Structure 1
Amino acid sequence: MLFGRRKKRGDPLQERIDCLIGPGTTIAGDLIFTGGLRIDGMIQGDVTVSDIKAGTLVIGDGGCIEGDVRVSHVIVYGEIRGTVYATGLVELHPNARITGDVHYDAIEMRAGAEIEGHLVKQSAAGETQ
C-alpha cells in the first residue's frame, strides 16, 4: 500500500518506487520513466511515463518540476510549473503548488494545495469534456 491507498483492480497506481531523484539533484532535460518515480530534487524539462497506462510520479516536499508532466497517477507534495496531463488520479497534498493547467480523470485536493491554472476533466478515452 502506498500512502494508505489500496490498489483497486485495473488501477495504474504503482506500489513501489523504482527510481529516486534525491534532494540537491538537478536534471536539465526531459525525463522518461517506467513504474514509479519519486522526485525530491529539481527537473528542468518534461517528465513522461513510457507506458501511460501504468506509472506513478511522486513529487516530494522539496521537489520541483519546470516542464510538462504526462503520467497516469501523480502525487504532489512539492511544486510543478507546467501543464499536468494525468490519465488517472491527481493527488494534491497541503503544500502542493501547480502553476499551469491540470488535465485529469480524477482529482483529490487537500486544504492548502494551490493550482494557478485551469482544471480540465478528461473522459475515460482521454478526451476533454
Structure 2
Amino acid sequence: MFSEKKAKKNNVEPSSAQNRINEGTKLKGDISSTGFFRIDGTIEGNVHTPSKVVLGKTGVILGTLSCENADLEGKFEGSLQVSGTLTLRSTALVEGEIVVGKLSVEPGAVLNASCVMQDGTPKAGLNAPKLPGDSQPRLFNKQQKIKEASALPKSD
C-alpha cells in the first residue's frame, strides 16, 4: 500500500555531530564527515556529508560539495550535488554545475550555473546538450531574443 520511495539513499547515516570552519580559516583538501557543517572560512577542495551544510556570508567553497541539504549565503564555485533542498540566500554567489532535488532562491542571490533538478538518484548524462556554435552559456534579455528571432530566415 505504501511505496518504498522514502528508503535511505545512502548507507551512511547523518550524525548529530557539528563541524565548524570559522572565518579566517583556510583549508585545502577533501573533507568528509557524517555530521552537520557550518562554514564561515574558505575551503579549496571537496566536502562530502550525508547531512546539512550551511555556508555563511563570509564562507567560500572552491571545489565540490555533496550533501543532503545546503543553505548558502557565501560564495561557491564548482560542482554542487544536493539530494534534498538547496537554499540560496540573498547574499549567495554560485557558479558552476548544480544537481539538486529542490531549489529555493531568494531575491538578490546570484546563480551562474547549469542546474539539473532530480529526485536524488544519480542519472547518467547530466550535462545539457550544447547547441552548434555555443562555446558557453549566454544570458538573454527580451530585446536580444526579439533581435535574434527577427534575424532568423522565415520559412513559408
Q: TM-score, normalised by structure 1?
A: 0.80
Deviation of 1:122 (Å): 1.2
1:2-31 CA distance string (max 9 Å, x none): xxxxxxx99xxx8x6701100000001111
Residue 69 of structure 2, aligned match among 70, 73, 96: 73
Q: What does residue 132 of structure 2 align with?
A: none
Please give the alpha-carbon distance, in whole angstroms, between the structure 2 residues aligned to 1:111 and 1:33. 31
1:47-91 CA distance string (max 9 Å, x none): 111xx3xx0000000000010111110100001110100111000
SS in 1 for 2:24: coil
Deviation of 1:37 (Å): 0.5
Structure 2 CA distance for partners of 1:17 and 1:107, relative to 1, 3 Å:
farther
Q: What does residue 5 of structure 1 align with?
A: none
Residue 101 of structure 1, aligned match among 97, 102, 107: 97
Structure 1 residue 121 corresponds to structure 2 residue 122: no
SS in 1 for 2:57: coil
Please give the alpha-carbon distance, in whole angstroms, between the structure 2 residues aligned to 1:32 and 1:124. 19
Aligned-partner residue type, residue 41 of structure 1? G
Please give the alpha-carbon distance, in whole angstroms, between the structure 2 residues aligned to 1:124 and 1:19. 24
8 Å CA contact 2:100–2:120 kept in 1: the answer is no
The structure, 1 or 2, with the larger RCO (C-alpha pairs under 8 Å, 6+ apart) is 1
Q: TM-score, normalised by structure 2?
A: 0.67
- Give the CA RMSD over aligned residues: 2.3
Q: What does residue 6 of structure 1 align with?
A: none
Aligned residues: 115
Structure 2 CA distance for partners of 1:17 and 1:95, relative to 1, 3 Å:
farther
Aligned-partner residue type, residue 39 of structure 1? I
SS in 2 for 1:100: strand
Computing the radius of gyration from Cα coordinates, the structure with the larger value is 2
8 Å CA contact 2:40–2:59 kept in 1: the answer is yes
Q: Which runs of 4+ in 1 moved over 4 A?
A: none
Deviation of 1:35 (Å): 1.9
Select the structure that is richer in helix.
2
Please give the alpha-carbon distance, in whole angstroms, between the structure 2 residues aligned to 1:22 and 1:124. 30
8 Å CA contact 1:36–1:56 kept in 2: the answer is yes
Please give the alpha-carbon distance, in whole angstroms, between the structure 2 residues aligned to 1:17 and 1:103. 25
Q: What does residue 4 of structure 1 align with?
A: none
